[in-house]
């Protein structure tokens, strides 16, 4: 398929807003593609060229894209920037500048050189050609790579029609995702190739985190092929997630009267994979973070006696003198590319393992939790730097409460309860009642902190004049949109405000990001990217906010009352993993029950 045709279909999809309509059109798009194009197109639709764990995200800087658009169209950089401030979408800028007033350069371009592929600027490239060109751009690194990426992107744009430029610019900026969440693409693939096997498709994705692999398997081998996709060390699984509760009694009730309780460590979740190719560490967002933790790699290689495995645990920072656990923030010193060795000796860690998913050719994800834990304990020679999470199994309320108290004393956030049911395995990628987190926050009547996405900023007044003094926060609705839930302006030190503003600078957009639903006008808008942890007094119904709009009361959404920044950014969560509008609804309902 010509990329031009794909762009025309994307243009159609762009006009739709309902998820069902989008899925229908996308699935017919997949059926029109050649079999070998389905995988590459699936990556492109998500603004990638490979799965995240292979560093497949393009995410080119805004400035570089603007420069490429300017060069390809012959418009000055100033004009390109100006149009961007007005239009707020790099795709629109690329398309507009390609059509107006820039004929001279285009003419010159077509007359003088016809690009690497010897094609006329108007004839365009195929989907596969675009995919390979973008892959090449993504793979370019090291000294001088910015300049190389710039000329490659310029060439690509120059070889494309205005419409194709629009979608190339959106893909490379990551903005193709407007309304196109991973799950929407997955649902469309199911509809196209395996309408009766939606669950098998979802599982294949949850155990591989590779949309391109699932897509091309579906296109070539339909549902049968997808069922043959296996858990494989070296390829991360989506993490299993927990519901929350503020009562041990409720937890025991939900778990059939008896449960395992584990310390809930305050660190960073890691999935450790050992295969013939070596040992790798993946973050909760399934990114490869092996480089941050050479000490964890070493511990895994020496303390776990198997040739191949996948285990999961929490890395915690440890105080060098006392050996006690330190808060999560200390671990952030380890998130760096350079000086890892030095950071390793200054900020030692320990891994508390809490799950096992695969050992020596055997997939454990369908096994019940007690079996997985037993196998984990068998494999492990516990030491200072690697241990199995503290655990008790009980049906007794008081024992569980006492265990929770000792977890807090030992520097944990609370406890995680886990079901003993032999019907439940490791549910990759899903949040359910098989795991329940129990944290108590004495400062707040909301039982837990909430993680929301920063989508806007407000100018400060008085002492904070000239700075951003507060932020507009939103919750993901599970369908690629962000719905606002509060404005937060407390809990920030002056330094924290300055740091935050710096951090957010590269996410500023000239107007409200198209994926954000807001009734408030912010002074500055941000692309949803950074997740902030807050505490609130309670959830209320609000006509001003759009979170879970109309769900409780027509015309109103839900809002967090008296929100307060806890000082912690959840860099381990992507924006669509923040507390969802669905979770807010559940929290609101359980709050009502307690009254």
Q: Would residue 230 show up in a list of annotated catalytic residues for this protein?
A: no
Q: CA 253 → CA 136, 240, 394, distances in Å?
A: 54, 21, 12
Closest contact distance (angstroms) between CB of 387 and ligand AMP is 11
Task: Show the binding pattern over residues 208-247: x = contacts ligand AMP (CB under 6 A), - = does not.
Answer: -------------------------------x--x-----
Closest contact distance (angstroms) between CB of 383 and ligand AMP is 18
Selected from 264, 273, 280, 373, the binder of ligand AMP by CB under 6 A is 264
CB 94 within 8 A of CB 165: yes
438 binds ligand AMP (CB under 6 A): no
- Alpha carbon 159 to its chain centroid, in Å, reads 32
For ligand AMP, the closer CB: 389 or 587: 389
109 binds ligand AMP (CB under 6 A): no
Q: Which residues pair with 456 in a beta bridge?
A: 472, 525
Q: Which residues contact 343 (CB under 8 A, 6 or more apart)?
A: 333, 334, 336
Binding segment for ligand AMP among 104-112, 209-217, 262-270, 519-527 (CB under 6 A)?
262-270
389 binds ligand AMP (CB under 6 A): yes
- 148 vs 77: CA distance, rounded Å: 18
For ligand AMP, the closer CB: 3 or 358: 358
CB 242 within 8 A of CB 416: yes
416 binds ligand AMP (CB under 6 A): yes
For ligand AMP, the closer CB: 50 or 535: 535
Q: Of 255, 243, 590, which Cα lies nearest the Cα of 396?
A: 255
The SS3 assignment for 549 reads coil
Selected from 265, 282, 347, 404, the binder of ligand AMP by CB under 6 A is 265
254 binds ligand AMP (CB under 6 A): no
Total of chain residues touching ligand AMP, rule CB under 6 A: 13
Closest contact distance (angstroms) between CB of 357 and ligand AMP is 13
Q: Which among 166, 264, 274, 573 is annotated as catalytic?
A: 264
437 binds ligand AMP (CB under 6 A): yes
For ligand AMP, the closer CB: 145 or 406: 406
Give alpha helix (H) positions in 46-89: 62-73, 77-87
In degrees and rounded to multiples of 5, residue 416 shows phi and psi of -115, 125
For ligand AMP, the closer CB: 166 or 284: 284
Binding segment for ligand AMP among 80-88, 256-264, 361-369, 483-491 (CB under 6 A)?
256-264
Selected from 96, 287, 295, 314, the binder of ligand AMP by CB under 6 A is 314
- 181 vs 100: CA distance, rounded Å: 33
Selected from 32, 135, 227, 269, the binder of ligand AMP by CB under 6 A is 269
Binding residues among 159-218 for ligand AMP as defined by CB under 6 A? none
- 66 vs 61: CA distance, rounded Å: 9
The SS3 assignment for 507 reads helix
Q: Which residues contact 182 (CB under 8 A, 6 or more apart)?
A: 46, 205, 211, 576
CB 373 within 8 A of CB 356: yes
Binding segment for ligand AMP among 35-43, 172-180, 261-269, 514-522 (CB under 6 A)?
261-269
Closest contact distance (angstroms) between CB of 493 and ligand AMP is 24
CB 169 within 8 A of CB 69: yes
**How many alpha carbons lie under 13 Å from residue 324 in its C-beta half-sphere?**
9
The residue with its CB nearest to ligand AMP is: 269
262 binds ligand AMP (CB under 6 A): yes
Give alpha helix (H) positions in 52-181: 62-73, 77-87, 90-99, 103-112, 127-139, 145-158, 162-173
For ligand AMP, the closer CB: 94 or 434: 434
Q: Of 77, 70, 124, 129, which Cα lies nearest the Cα of 98?
A: 70
Task: Show the binding pattern over residues 333-372: x = contacts ligand AMP (CB under 6 A), - = does not.
Answer: ---------------------x------------------
Closest contact distance (angstroms) between CB of 428 and ligand AMP is 13
Place of tokens 């995919």: 131
Question: Which residues here bind ligand AMP, judged by CB under 6 A?
Answer: 239, 242, 262-265, 269, 284, 314, 354, 389, 416, 437
Instruction: Report, as residue numbers or ranges, the catalytic residues.
Output: 264
């Amino acid at each position: 398929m010509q990329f031009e045709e794909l762009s025309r279909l994307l243009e159609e999809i762009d006009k739709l807003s309902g998820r069902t309509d989008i899925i229908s059109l996308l699935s017919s798009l997949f059926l029109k593609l050649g079999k070998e194009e389905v995988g590459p197109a699936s990556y492109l639709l998500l603004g990638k060229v490979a799965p995240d764990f292979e560093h497949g995200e393009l995410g080119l800087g805004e400035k570089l894209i603007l420069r490429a658009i300017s060069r390809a169209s012959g418009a000055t950089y100033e004009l390109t920037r100006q149009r961007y401030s007005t239009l707020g979408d790099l795709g629109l800028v690329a398309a507009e500048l390609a059509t107006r007033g820039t004929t001279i350069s285009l003419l010159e371009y077509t007359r003088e050189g016809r690009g690497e592929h010897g094609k006329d600027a108007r004839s365009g490239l195929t989907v596969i050609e675009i995919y390979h060109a973008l892959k090449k751009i993504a793979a370019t690194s090291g000294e001088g790579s910015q300049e190389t990426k710039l000329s490659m992107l310029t060439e690509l744009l120059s070889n494309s029609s205005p419409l194709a430029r629009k979608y190339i610019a959106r893909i490379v900026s990551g903005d193709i995702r407007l309304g196109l969440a991973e799950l929407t693409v997955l649902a469309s693939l199911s509809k196209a190739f395996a309408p009766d096997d939606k669950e098998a498709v979802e599982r294949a994705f949850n155990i591989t985190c590779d949309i391109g692999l699932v897509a091309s398997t579906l296109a070539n081998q339909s549902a049968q092929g997808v069922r043959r996709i296996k858990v494989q060390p070296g390829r991360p699984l989506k993490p299993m997630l927990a519901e929350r509760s503020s009562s041990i009694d409720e937890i025991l009730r939900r778990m059939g009267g008896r449960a395992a309780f584990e310390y809930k460590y305050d660190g960073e979740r890691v999935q450790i994979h050992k295969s013939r190719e070596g040992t790798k560490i993946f973050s909760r967002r399934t990114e490869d973070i092996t480089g941050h933790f050479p000490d964890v790699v070493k511990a895994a290689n020496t303390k776990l006696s198997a040739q191949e495995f996948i285990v999961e645990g929490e890395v915690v920072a440890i105080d060098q003198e006392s050996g006690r656990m330190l808060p999560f923030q200390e671990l952030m010193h380890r998130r760096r590319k350079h000086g890892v060795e030095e950071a390793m000796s200054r900020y030692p860690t320990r891994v508390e393992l809490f799950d096992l998913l695969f050992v020596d050719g055997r997939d454990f994800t369908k096994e019940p939790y007690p079996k997985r834990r037993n196998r984990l304990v068998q494999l492990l020679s516990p030491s200072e730097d690697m241990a199995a999470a503290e655990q008790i199994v009980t049906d007794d309320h008081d024992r569980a409460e006492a265990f929770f108290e000792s977890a807090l004393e030992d520097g944990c956030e609370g406890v995680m309860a886990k079901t003993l049911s032999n019907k439940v395995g490791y549910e990759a990628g899903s949040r359910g009642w098989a795991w329940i987190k129990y944290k108590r926050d004495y400062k707040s009547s909301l039982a837990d902190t909430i993680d929301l996405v920063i989508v806007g900023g407000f100018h400060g007044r008085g002492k904070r004049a000239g700075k951003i003094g507060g932020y507009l926060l939103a919750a993901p609705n599970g369908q690629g949109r962000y719905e606002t839930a509060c404005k937060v302006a407390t809990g920030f030190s002056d330094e924290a405000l300055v740091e935050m503003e710096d951090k957010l600078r590269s996410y500023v957009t000239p107007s409200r990001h198209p994926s954000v639903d807001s009734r408030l006008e912010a002074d500055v808008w941000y692309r949803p990217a950074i997740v902030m942890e807050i505490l609130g007094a309670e959830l209320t119904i609000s006509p001003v906010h759009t979170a879970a709009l109309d769900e409780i009361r027509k015309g109103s959404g839900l809002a967090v009352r008296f929100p307060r920044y806890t000082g912690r950014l959840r860099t381990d969560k992507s924006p669509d993993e923040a507390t969802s509008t669905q979770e807010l609804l559940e929290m609101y309902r359980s709050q009502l029950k307690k009254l």
